[in-house]
Structure 1
Amino acid sequence: MVVIIPKSEKEFTDLSYWKKFFKHNSSFEWYGDYSKLGQIFEKYIKSTDFILQIGCGNSSLADDLYDNGYRNILSIDTDQNVIDKQNKKNLENRPTLKFKNCSASNIDLQNSSVNVIIDKGTLDALLPSKYS
């Protein structure tokens, strides 16, 4: 696995950086995986809650949530290739797990339909930088 950490703050907001990042990494967990975060999720999230994971990238978090009883999950990302890979990987064994290509700043969901939003680093990429 090749880890390509941004050289500057500006790269976090550049979509081409993320395309390159996900091209070279099979799976990457920002700020921890389910083994580190699962107890917190299990304490505060009901298995029936609708979970929106923004900026899923190639993380296996949605897979792990599903495997631990959460079935109502939508994961989004702006990289279509990442979404295609996630859908293909999960199609057979996790049929209700959904991945969608869209931006967290422009997602079409009904008001009050989401119970939980999980973000493990997307906010960093959305915040305007001094380079914008």
Structure 2
Amino acid sequence: MEGLEEKTENMDYLPDDNSRYKDVDYWDDRYKTEQCYDWLGSFSKFQHLIEQHIKKDDSVLILGCGNSSMSADMYNSGYRSITNIDYSSVCISTMSARHSDCQGMTWHQMDVRQLSFPDASFDVVLEKATLDAIMVGEKSPWGVSPETAHFIHKALTEVSRCLKPGGRFVSVTFADPFFRKRLYAKTEYDWSIKKYSYGEGLEYFVYVMTKGEELSPEDAALEKKLLEDTEPKPPTVSSAQSEDEEDFIANIDI
């Protein structure tokens, strides 16, 4: 999962190891000097998709807001109820001060796995590359480690809990459906999944999960297959072993 940051990224901010993207100390240090960075492109690149699924009067929660200009761009586009969270206190302090004149936009230091909001608090939960950053240290895109899978599951469970009925979880990512739907297609999250894309040359994806809608037959089949693949298989018994067992039973004197 290399290449999460685009080529325009200042090399001074690249970590020595991708696993550091999950380290809050890395982000605290980075946000002390970096002014702004927009992962996966600026808001204008996918604004047409956002406006199809997020109404201007929706209450929006942005996960892992970072120092991206997306929140301010959305505010300037007419979105007025925006709650931003990030687990870096340096980021939240900086961004809160920078946008103190944006009435209706709030900033909170918070872990995505433990959101301090009541059930059904938001019309929309939006994330852009936050989950990508959590998974960028994985050795292979074909399967995430148990630790990371547990992290993502806790985060998505919290997202689902905080969504109002009919609310949308909007995920902007570089991960194509083959890999990302494996994480999102779970009946317990109580949402449907639709996929869109944007970008010229390099394609990015926008997934829209709608709370209270069922998975499509295709996504339900994917969930079933993934569950079957993780179930422990009964040990196979060779024919020779089976014959030995039969001989043993036949020779028991009863």
**Consecutive aligned runs of 4 or more in structure 1 exceeding 6 Å deviation:** none
Contact 2:80 2:103 in 1 (8 A): no
Structure 1, unmatched stretches of 5+, are none
User: Residue 107 of structure 1 aligns to a residue in which SS?
Assistant: coil
Tell me the SS of whatever aligns to 2:68.
Answer: coil
**Unmatched 5+ stretches in structure 2:** 1-8, 139-144, 148-254
Q: Which residue of 1 is the match for residue 127 of structure 2? A: 119
Q: 1:14 aligns with which of 8, 19, 23?
A: 23
Asked if the contact 1:12/1:124 (under 8 Å) is kept, the reply is: no
Q: Of 87, 96, 99, which aligns to 2:104? A: 96
Q: Which has the larger radius of gyration?
A: 2
Greater length-normalized contact order (CA 8 Å, ≥ 6 residues apart):
1
Structure 1 residue 62 displacement after superposition: 0.8
Instruction: Quote how far apart the aligned CAs of 1:35 are.
Output: 1.2
What CA deviation, in whole Å up to 9, does each residue of 1:31-63 have, x standing for no partner? 121111211111111111111111111111111
Query: 1:83-126 CA distances to partner (integer Å, 9 max, x unpaired)?
Result: 1111111112x121111111111111121121211111221344
Matched residue, 1:35:
44
Query: Deviations along 1:51-80, whole A, 9 cap, x unmatched?
Result: 111111111111111111111110101111
Distance in 2, Cα, partners of 1:5 & 1:14: 13
Aligned residues: 130
Q: Distance in 1 between matches of 2:127 and 2:36?
A: 16
> Percent identity, aligned pairs only?
28
| TM-score between both structures, scaled by the size of structure 1 | 0.87
How far apart, CA to CA, are the structure 1 residues paired with 2:114 and 2:74?
A: 24
User: Higher strand share goes to which structure?
Assistant: 2
Q: TM-score, normalised by structure 2?
A: 0.47
